[in-house]
Structure 1
Amino acid sequence: MAWRFGAYELDPARRELRVAGAPRALQPLVLAVLAYLVRNRHRVVPKEELLRELWPDAVVTDASLQRAVSLARHALRPADRRLLRTYARQGYRFVGELVEAEPDPADAAADAPPRYVRSGDVHVAYRTVGRGPLDVVLVLGWSLGMRAALELPGGSELVRALSTRARVILFDKRGTGASDRVKALPELPQRVEDLEAVLDAVRSPGAVLVGFSEGGPLALAFAATRPLRVRGVALVGAFARMSAAPDHPAGWGEAEIATLRAYIAHGWGAGATMGALVPARHLTPPLRAWAARAEQEGASPGAALELLEMNLGIDVRPLLPRVRTPAVVLHATGDRVVRAGNGRALAAAIPGARLVELPGDDHAFLFGGRPTLERELAALLERAAARRGAPLT
């Protein structure tokens, strides 16, 4: 259960106190003290009970408890610190007015088992979050699985925002995440068929596709070859061709490719490729741990090497003039994974595409760039609704 009081949201499941929507860093035991007092707000909680329940296997003094309560108070704004009241020689009580928060749809989706659809002889895993008159498909990049995407704070925040106005569809590409492992990773046309199978399974008449990084070529190929099923395309840190060529200098060079091959072969699972999704200034120890888990859950080293070779063979540039749906290209000018020239080339080649560039290195627009991404997706959904002749509520 999560609770709201004033400008605060306390979410023990996510180990988070948010103030006006922004996470406030708290030591685990300080958060535990606050959550226990909130949960037992109808009474004064004796000091002995707090010590027994929160430090069951340790000898802790009253001074340590007093410090934890003091830190919990100071996590609140000065005018709100009276919400944690001390009762002399008795204990403590939370005296604020609470509202129980609705379960977070992104958290619920991350914890729920995936569903499966057969595409040929392969089972493709997928999830849906929220409801709405339109569908949004998040086409994840590289080997990132949907569970890991929902565990990334920026990913869950994006899904939470989108799920208030649309049904959000996520899936794991074959060979990655919870989908079947395969002897050889597919070519792009097979992945288009996999995405179509997912849309058939959820009975989607059409969707806005959001292609992140390596998910961009799949979104573009689907839009070009299945135009009646696409209502709009957003490309985030994406490319049409991964490797460099004389007419494509923004692609990856041989030295970069060799470095990535060596990392996959000898260091896979440490989180380097997933950590690149996170802007340098946000790469905290918890996010480094997330990146390592995401790599380990996403693919094996052998599958990652095959995925790299498949990506190096992708070139959807001939398809770009056939993308006739509303399109927006979002790219960070200092993107460390996919150079900004890739986004500019996409926007120049897709008829009517809108280019949105932001300074910095937010490759997936899930940190400082997330408000911009949410705004552009809301605009795409509005355009899609208008074309259908139905208001978006």
Structure 2
Amino acid sequence: MTTPETRYTLAPDGVHIAYQVTGTGDLDLVLMQGTVSHLEIAWEDANLRRLFDRLGMFSRLIRFDRRGMGMSDPLDAIPTFDEQLADFGTVMDAARCGRATVVGTTDGGVLALSFAAAHPERVSSVVAFETSPRLIPSPDDDFGVDFEVLQRMASASAAIDLDAHLSIVAPARKDEPGFRSWFRRYIRSASSGFRIDAFIRGQMSWDIRDRLSDVVAPVLVMNRTGNTILPMRNARALAAALPDARLVEIDGTGTTIFADDVDDVDDIADEIEGFLTGTRPPPRHDRVLTTVLFTDVVGSTQRAAELGDRSWRDLLERHHRLLRAELDRFGGQEVHTAGDGFLATFDSPRRAIECARAAASAIGSIGLDIRAGVHTGEVELSDGEVQGLAVHIGARISALAGAGEVFVSSTVKDLVVGSGIDFDERGEHELKGVPGAWRVFAAV
């Protein structure tokens, strides 16, 4: 995967704002992600990469890190609301974009709506994803967050408590191989000069209710039905308060746009495409039978903390080289990697198991332990990604394995009868998000 070039533009007050331009569509779409962002590391997550690629099919996608975040200049103090608001215009000017759809997630949605109210001549439409015009609850209206959950998230961020943080922002991906280490690096690299919890506390004073009536552009309001911080009442109240708004409820949990699976990302992109162009892509029916292999490093968060970011990154690069060598040797196809996690496909479950064993041995030589999960089933192919229930099953089985172990589903065990591979039964398990109980085996 080649990361797009990061460009820089100078804001009027001398702060460099980082931005990227991708996509081949005719519409200009300017995206600010909420709370934390990092233009380059974001591409390493399969869900975000899928989102950017999908949006780029029908738009020229302009993304930027707000001041003090990610690749933009670090700051010594929290930027003001007006400073962050002005960054939209600064980036649009740099990208030679006179008029665009502005998209904001969470607090980025607050800024997108405010920019539309202040500069109607530059905004053709708005997408506000999981956005509340005011965070502090009031008995006078339905706006406001679940304050106790927000405090827990700020505390988890301050304490670098990954489990607590993920249980709020992306509970459906909490046990996904590789996602944990990617998320840790993403949030630690995103902020520069100040802590995320301080940034969140600064947002508590925001209140743009009086600006909503000035948003004359059509607005797509989107919210997950199971959002752990912003209940659906916020989205309904926001849509009702805007002059021209359409409300879309998305099934799922979490508080970030990448919180659920790739199918969820496709649903979000489909809704945005339909809102902006009046058409939606045809149903995706390209399904094939394949074997999926998931691997990730056991204890990666603790090891990364012990080594420090630079040494951990060097060690992770060695891990990647060794694993890719085994994939080539056994005929595996790398689908994507996130942090220390890999997803690959094989046309043979036996070769997937043998690859996992060989990779565990090779990577063990550099002092790392990996675990692996293998499952065979139908998957949906879409622009180089694999999706579907079989992928979720493989990920959940991998999460059950311990250091050096290769766990497989009963489907895989039955398919490799006669291969000479022996198995130990590891019990029947409920796999999160997967119907029924599944018998799991360890390849020995």
Category of TM-score, reference length = shorter chain? 0.5 to 0.7
Q: Do structure 1's residue 343 and structure 2's residue 222 form an aligned pair?
A: no
- Report the structure number with the largest CA radius of gyration: 1
C-alpha displacement of 1:383 = 6.2
Q: Do structure 1's residue 242 and structure 2's residue 135 form an aligned pair?
A: yes
Q: Do structure 1's residue 353 and structure 2's residue 241 form an aligned pair?
A: no
Equivalent residues of 2:167, 2:174 under 8 A apart? no
* Superposed counterparts of 1:318-333, under 5 Å: 318-333=210-225
Q: Do structure 1's residue 370 and structure 2's residue 265 form an aligned pair?
A: yes
Pick closer, same or farther for the CA change 1:365–1:306 going to 2, 3 Å: closer
Pairing partner for 2:22 from 109, 120, 129: 129
Equivalent residues of 1:220, 1:320 under 8 A apart? yes
Normalised by the size of structure 2, how large is the TM-score? Answer: 0.57
2:102 alignment partner in structure 1: 209
Instruction: Quote the Cα distance in structure 1 between the aligned partners of 2:195 and 2:12.
Output: 19
Q: Which runs of 4+ in 1 moved over 6 A?
A: none
SS at match of 2:112: helix
1:232 alignment partner in structure 2: 125
Instruction: Quote the Cα distance in structure 2 between the aligned partners of 1:162 and 1:307.
Output: 28
Instruction: Quote the Cα distance in structure 2 between the aligned partners of 1:225 and 1:383.
Output: 26
**AA paired with 1:184?**
A
**AA paired with 2:266?**
P
**AA paired with 2:222?**
L
Equivalent residues of 1:331, 1:358 under 8 A apart? yes
* Superposed counterparts of 1:1-393, under 5 Å: 13=1, 107-109=2-4, 112-248=5-141, 250-267=143-160, 270=162, 273=165, 276-280=168-172, 283-300=175-192, 302-361=194-253, 363-366=255-258, 367=261, 368-382=263-277
Equivalent residues of 1:140, 1:146 under 8 A apart? no
Instruction: Quote the Cα distance in structure 2 between the aligned partners of 1:144 and 1:365.
Output: 12
Unaligned runs of 5+ in 1: 1-12, 14-106, 385-393
Q: RMSD of the alignment, in Å? A: 2.5
SS at match of 2:253: coil
Deviation track 1:232-260 (CA, whole Å, cap 9, x = no partner) reads 11111121112222224552355334433
SS at match of 1:285: coil
Of residues 356-365 and 310-319 in structure 1, the stretch that sits farther from structure 2 once superposed is 356-365
Q: What is the count of residue pairs matched by the alignment?
A: 276
C-alpha displacement of 1:184 = 1.7
Deviation track 1:38-84 (CA, whole Å, cap 9, x = no partner) reads xxxxxxxxxxxxxxxxxxxxxxxxxxxxxxxxxxxxxxxxxxxxxxx
- Give the fraction of aligned pairs with identical amino acids, expressed as a percent: 30
**AA paired with 2:264?**
G
C-alpha displacement of 1:151 = 2.1
Of residues 319-328 and 302-311 in structure 1, the stretch that sits farther from structure 2 once superposed is 302-311
1:104 alignment partner in structure 2: none
**AA paired with 2:265?**
R
Equivalent residues of 2:113, 2:212 under 8 A apart? yes
Of residues 245-254 and 284-293 in structure 1, the stretch that sits farther from structure 2 once superposed is 245-254
**AA paired with 1:220?**
L
Unaligned runs of 5+ in 2: 280-444
Instruction: Quote the Cα distance in structure 2 between the aligned partners of 1:253 and 1:321.
Output: 25
Pick closer, same or farther for the CA change 1:123–1:271 going to 2, 3 Å: farther
Higher strand share: 2
Equivalent residues of 1:237, 1:343 under 8 A apart? yes
Instruction: Quote the Cα distance in structure 2 between the aligned partners of 1:120 and 1:379.
Output: 38
Pick closer, same or farther for the CA change 1:119–1:380 going to 2, 3 Å: farther
Instruction: Quote the Cα distance in structure 1 between the aligned partners of 2:151 and 2:228.
Output: 16
Pick closer, same or farther for the CA change 1:272–1:179 going to 2, 3 Å: farther
Pick closer, same or farther for the CA change 1:263–1:300 going to 2, 3 Å: farther
Pick closer, same or farther for the CA change 1:257–1:342 going to 2, 3 Å: same
C-alpha displacement of 1:264 = 3.3
Equivalent residues of 2:225, 2:231 under 8 A apart? yes
Equivalent residues of 2:105, 2:129 under 8 A apart? yes
Instruction: Quote the Cα distance in structure 1 between the aligned partners of 2:102 and 2:178.
Output: 30
Equivalent residues of 2:149, 2:229 under 8 A apart? no
Equivalent residues of 1:117, 1:125 under 8 A apart? no
Instruction: Quote the Cα distance in structure 1 between the aligned partners of 2:174 and 2:159.
Output: 26
Equivalent residues of 1:175, 1:303 under 8 A apart? no
